[in-house]
Structures are given as C-alpha cells and as structure tokens.
Amino acid sequence: MKNVMLGIDTSNYRTSLCLATKDGEIVAEAKKLLHVKAGKRGLQQSEAVFQHVMNLPELCDQLELDKWKVEGICVSEKPRPVEQSYMPVFKVGEGLAKSLSLFLKVPLYMTTHQEGHIAAGEHSASDCPVADRFLAVHLSGGTSEILVCTRTEHGYDIEIIGGTIDLHAGQLLDRIGVALGLPFPAGPYLEKLAKETTEDFRIASSVQKCTFSFSGPENALMQAIQHQKASPSAIARAAEQCVANSLEKALRNAIEMGYEREILIVGGVAANEYIRERLIKRLEHPAVKAKLYFCNPAYTGDNAYGVAMLGWKQVNQ
C-alpha cells in the first residue's frame, strides 16, 4: 500500500482530485470539466459551486481511497498567494479537505491555485528551471501574469511583474472561439481550426514593458468576424498569434530589464502548440538566450497534481 498525498482543486471550470506519492508518481486521479451551456462564455460562481458539490462524491469514489495510505490532504484554498485573494469555488474544495482530514485523522495543508499550476509545471515538465528563482508565466482563462518565482519550503514566493491589464489570454481565445461558433472552453477547438488556415491575416498586439492588453485585439478580431475580413481559420490563427506576440514582447522586455532568463510557462493556454513553438523559436534565439520550460499538456489545465505535490513539501515543516 503506497503512501500518498490527496490534492484537491475546485477551480472555475474543473473539479480535480489527485493522489500522488512523494516522488511525484500519480497513483490515481479524477477530474471533470464543469458544464457550460452552448453559446455561453463562462459560469456564474453560484453555478460553478453547485457543479463542484455534485461532482465531488463521484470523483472521490473513483479514487478508491481505501486502496492507499493517505498521509495528508492539500487543497487550493484561494486563487493566488496574496491577501484578499478569494473566490467562492475554492471554498467547496476546502470544505471537503477539512472534513476528510478530520475523518481520516491526517494533516491538512493549504496552498493556492496559482502555486498548484506552477508546481504541476515543475513536476510534469521534461525539464525544469535549475535556479531557485525563475520567471513563470501563468496563462489561462482567469489569469495572465508574468511572475518572479522563488522556491520556498512550503511553495513559492511570488512577485507579479507584468501581465494583462484587461482580458486574459484564455478569455480572448474563448471569446473569439465562441464567436466563431466553437464550444466553450474554446481553446482546443480554436487551435484545431487555426491549423486549417492558408491565409496570412494578422492583428496588432498591444504591449507596454511587461504588460499587455487584449481588449483592442478582441475588438479587431470581432470586427473581422462580423465583416468577414478573413476566413474563420485565419481569424483563429490571428488570435493565437496575437497571444504569442504579446507574450514574446513582454518577456523580451522583462529580460532586458534584468529579470531571469529561465521561464516556466503554465496554465491552460500553455497547451497551445502554435504558441509554444513560436515562443521557443523567438525567445530561445541566440540573441535573447532565454530558456523555456513548459508544463506537460496533460497538466496545463486546472488540476490537483501540483496541489498534491505542494502538500508533500509541507510535511514535517
């Protein structure tokens, strides 16, 4: 019977549980996307909370907890490791974690959703930053931030040095995807559609130092859809290209300002193959000398693997 840590993450769009050993082996996991009605671009917190409550008993059953020796439970209690960071969905997971901790008589550990993404990136990537201080980019439907991360005994010290000033990268791709008639969340469908393009249609990116904006690009893309300025596949590729270009410029600026050249990229948008390849080509160029690390695509989306591994870091601390 293997010793495992139970990780729990109840984010905006996925219910996730994971059992992992101290050396990073995943022995069992269960996760389920929350349902978003066709044509909608997201969920209200009340609806997301309800779906988490309904999902958790089924997912707990799938884990077959009696087959493992649970050493502790770690849960993401809030979005980010900063004061006043709060979102109702995370209280669902926190409540389950506290109940299971009392029932199983095992320690309870707390972390955050963002730290879970970074840890999932480090533990699932084929390689990870060598230095304890590195840049991390968290790209998703709810976050688009450039971070200075320093590994600590319990997780990470995080400083935000840049990111979006309005829409998130995942929001841009989702909104354009839904406008093109794709299901939500639209990222994987938009990526597939973009691969069909034979046109060279582009829109401008908007970057100032380490910050970027996606509201202007969204308007330009919506106009292109409304007035049929390009094919759906070309518009999909232009949306991907805008995200890649914006991030490339912001990261180049960060490096020129003296920030670290080791960069870990996590979050759902990090699964996009076109964005990955373009960033590697442009930022690992000898003129820039950055080194990029990407989360395994299976763990770029919301998941509890990184949360479980952060639990192990807190054991005996």
Which pLDDT tens digit goes with each residue over 206-237?
Answer: 999 999 999 999 999 999 999 999 999 999 99
What does pLDDT average to over the chain? 96
What is the Cα–Cα distance from 296 to 56, expressed in whole angstroms?
Answer: 25
Tally of CB atoms within 10 A around 200: 10
Which pLDDT tens digit goes with each residue over 101-118?
Answer: 999 999 999 999 999 999
Domain boundaries, the chain: 3-121+300-314, 129-294
Tokens of 108: 């309870």
Task: Using the predicted structure, report yes or no on whether residue 316 has a pLDDT greater than 80.
Answer: no
Tokens of 283: 């930022």
Peptide bond into 232 cis (omega under 30): no
| 3-121+300-314, CATH topology level | Nucleotidyltransferase; domain 5 (3.30.420)
- Which phi and psi (to 5°) does residue 160 adopt? -80, 125
CATH architecture of 129-294: 2-Layer Sandwich (3.30)
Domain 3-121+300-314 matches domain 129-294 at the CATH topology level: yes
Helix then strand then coil, % of the chain, to nearest 5: 45, 25, 35
What pLDDT does 1 receive?
Answer: 86
What pLDDT does 41 receive?
Answer: 82
What pLDDT does 89 receive?
Answer: 98
pTM summary value = 0.94
Which pLDDT tens digit goes with each residue over 48-70?
Answer: 999 999 999 999 999 999 999 99
What pLDDT does 281 receive?
Answer: 97
